[in-house]
Homo-oligomer: A and B are copies of this chain.
Amino acid sequence: MARIIGSDLPNIPWQDKPDEERGVVWRYSDNPVIRRDAIPSSNSIFNSAVVPFKGRFAGVFRCDDTARHMDIHAGFSDDGFNWRIEDPVIAFEREDAEITSDYKYDPRVCWIEDRYYVTWCNGYHGPTIGMGYTTDFVRFHQMENTFLPPNRNGVMFPRKINGCYAMLSRPSDYGHTPFGDIFYSESPDLRFWGNHRHVMRTTDGWQSTKIGAGPIPIETDEGWLMIYHGVLTSCNGFVYSFGAALLDLEKPWKIIARSNPYIINPREIYELAGDVPNVTFPCAALVDKDSGKVAIYYGCADTVTGLVFGKIDEIVNWVKANKM
């Protein structure tokens, strides 16, 4: 039985699995957990990242405003269900005045050693991976962009691997990219990156157009559990579902198992209709080592934020039982 390598989180937001549920994860009964107009300026709040913070929870949230401009905001919660999101956007202190941001979206937050690192899709002559850090979710520092644009879905690993920081990302083009594999890169210092390795390519069905890492990978004794989204192109556009894979602990570009089915796909009306129909896009997961519980936050229809629950050991077993 897979065990989480991590910390206890006894106050993880949680609902038990409904009797009739047959999936390996199940939706929060009061989804969407964050509504589109939770702050005065917002058109939509989705694709957002939450972490445990001082016994409670904090996060970085993608809020598109009513001009449909994309930016990220800090937010706080006592229970992981009820969120207070700051109306002003995060004002980063920039390390170098040249590292500009035309826009910011799809943040992830990752605690490594002594601080919370934030990565996001940063508009610098195209979308690339922006990076910064905070210790308090009040002051944020912006570092160098990690890669050349265009790139999206930059996701850190929560510890150094083989002495280097490690990141997953998906090279893209400048539009609604119709391709995208997941790659792995290393850095000794979070400034210079190299040793790029190909991790996973697109295959069939729900993951046939492009794929991208979602939450920070979850370390288990059986490998890194990577929740990732996949995109299928129907005659009416993209459909975003999500599945899971197990990656080798020391060589994360080696796949131990990858799920052939999805875990979650768009089914509920708040996932099927909205600014972008048919999107379920995971960006963060809370885990409790002791109980193996996991709570995954995911964007719905690029409009609101949803929440699903599961058990890590069950997900790991499901990935192995349903691998391609």
Contacts and interface: CB of A to CB of B under 8 A. Distances in A.
A62 to B, nearest CB: 14
Interface string A214-249: 000000000000000000111111110100000000
Contact of A236 (B36, B174, B236): B236
A276 B234 CA distance: 7
A238 B276 CA distance: 10
A144 B194 contact: yes
Contacts of A277: 236, 272-273, 277-278
B192 A171 contact: no
A196 B37 CA distance: 36
B171 A150 contact: yes
A148 interface: yes
Nearest to A100: B198
A74 to B, nearest CB: 22
Interface string A259-278: 01110011101001111111
Interface residues of A, number: 74
A114 interface: no
A125 interface: yes
A146 interface: yes
Interface string A145-179: 11111110000000000000000010101101001
Contacts of A66: 206, 261-262, 265
A205 B69 contact: yes
A91 B69 CA distance: 42
A301 to B, nearest CB: 9
Contacts of A16: none
A204 B69 contact: yes
Contact of A232 (B68, B185, B188): B68
A305 interface: no
Interface in A266-324: 266-267, 269, 272-278, 302, 324
B195 A67 contact: no
A76 interface: no
A123 to B, nearest CB: 11
B262 A67 contact: yes
Interface of A: 22, 36-37, 40, 43, 65-69, 98, 124-126, 128, 144-151, 169, 171, 173-174, 176, 179, 181, 183, 185-189, 191-198, 201, 204-206, 208, 232-239, 241, 260-262, 265-267, 269, 272-278, 302, 324
6 contacts: A67-B260, A148-B196, A149-B171, A235-B238, A236-B277, A269-B273
